[in-house]
Amino acid sequence: MVPLIDSFPQMKSEEIEAEDNISTVMQFVLLGFSDLPNLQGLLFGMFSVIYIIILTGNSLIIVITRLDPVLQKPMYFFLANFSLLEICYVSVTLPRILVNLWTQDRRISVLGCATQMCFFLILGTAECFLLVVMAYDRYVAICNPLHYPLVMNQKTCIQLAVGSWISGIPVQIGQTCQIFSLHFCNSNQINHFFCDIPPILKLACGDTSVHELSVYVIVLLVAAVPFMLVLASYSKIICTILRLPTARGRAKAFSTCSSHLMVVLLFFGSGTITYFRPKSSHSAGTDKLLSLFYTIVTPMFNPMIYSLRNKDVIAALRKLVLKN
């Protein structure tokens, strides 16, 4: 009986040791651009200017679409929502990047990291859906102009906008909880400038293939399917444009559509490539470059492409400036 009693402390100590080997990480370190020590000041200045441009450009669009009577149309209602979404989307990641560059303190708590990822994913999903809604709005306006006032009435517009904002909330909260339920035992250093799924999964212990599969399925539903719907809408729009009687009308419509499609391809393309690649093929440099496009570059150019090439928006902006 004695050997059996003595074996219990030994078994307990082995269990404690095993738990220590898969200890839960209490905080992460966002390495960001730490591999460019001589460029920290330049990067801080560059990202500060970009953030100001994004805030100013999108805020102007929100203000003029609210104040100008000419812009009280569904297209500009969605544009104002899109601009507000871009401000929120960028503000989830860019202020943190600026703080890290300024203070050189790159630590972030697990809760802070999870919160950043959750809001980033929710707002990214909202952007995917809102781009579909905006493409649908243009499809109805160009392909079914007689039915446009009836189809895109105020109630429908509000429902589509609210649906775009909230549809991703339950899915992305669930996905964030699933990812942060993993054990992180390899390292606490995230080789990225914000808490994104691919670099977080790299730090997880054991087999993460089930989690990767769930990421693929969710990306398929919230990004790939909306992307196909946007392309389908614009293909119908282009077919309708080709039947326009005047060359000037065709050129104008093509100019607008090509600009919109460029933004859509940049946003969906870079995001889809990032999340659809298997974990083994991810490289930190490529992930950072791709994520720069869908987190910073497209929000910076969206106001110019979606708005400042629009004559009504330019006229409203001119009135606002002259009034002040």
The pTM assigned to this predicted structure is 0.85
158 within some domain: yes
Answer for the pair 138, 231: CB distance below 8 angstroms, yes or no: no
Q: Which residues of the chain have pLDDT under 70?
A: 1-24, 186, 249, 252-256, 259, 277-284, 306-309, 324
262 within some domain: yes
Starting at the edge strand found earlier in the chain, the sheet holding 107-109 runs 107-109, 27-30, 189-190
Answer for the pair 271, 223: CB distance below 8 angstroms, yes or no: yes
pLDDT score, position 9? 43
8-37 pLDDT, tens per residue?
A: 344 334 333 334 444 467 789 998 888 888
How many helices and strands, by DSSP H and E, does the chain display?
14, 3
Q: How many domains does the chain contain in total?
A: 1
**Which residue type does 279 have?**
K
275 within some domain: yes
21 within some domain: no
Residue that has been written with the tokens 């972030």 in this structure: 108
8 within some domain: no
3 within some domain: no
CATH at 171:
1.20.1070.10
For 44, the domain range is: 27-323
**Which residue type does 239 have?**
C
Supply 180's token pair: 């942060």
Answer for the pair 78, 132: CB distance below 8 angstroms, yes or no: no
228 within some domain: yes
12 within some domain: no
Q: Whole-angstrom Cα distance, residue 324 to residue 303? A: 22
Q: Whole-angstrom Cα distance, residue 229 to residue 62? A: 26
The b-or-e profile of 16-29 (16+ CB within 10 A means b, else e) is eeeeeeeeebeebb
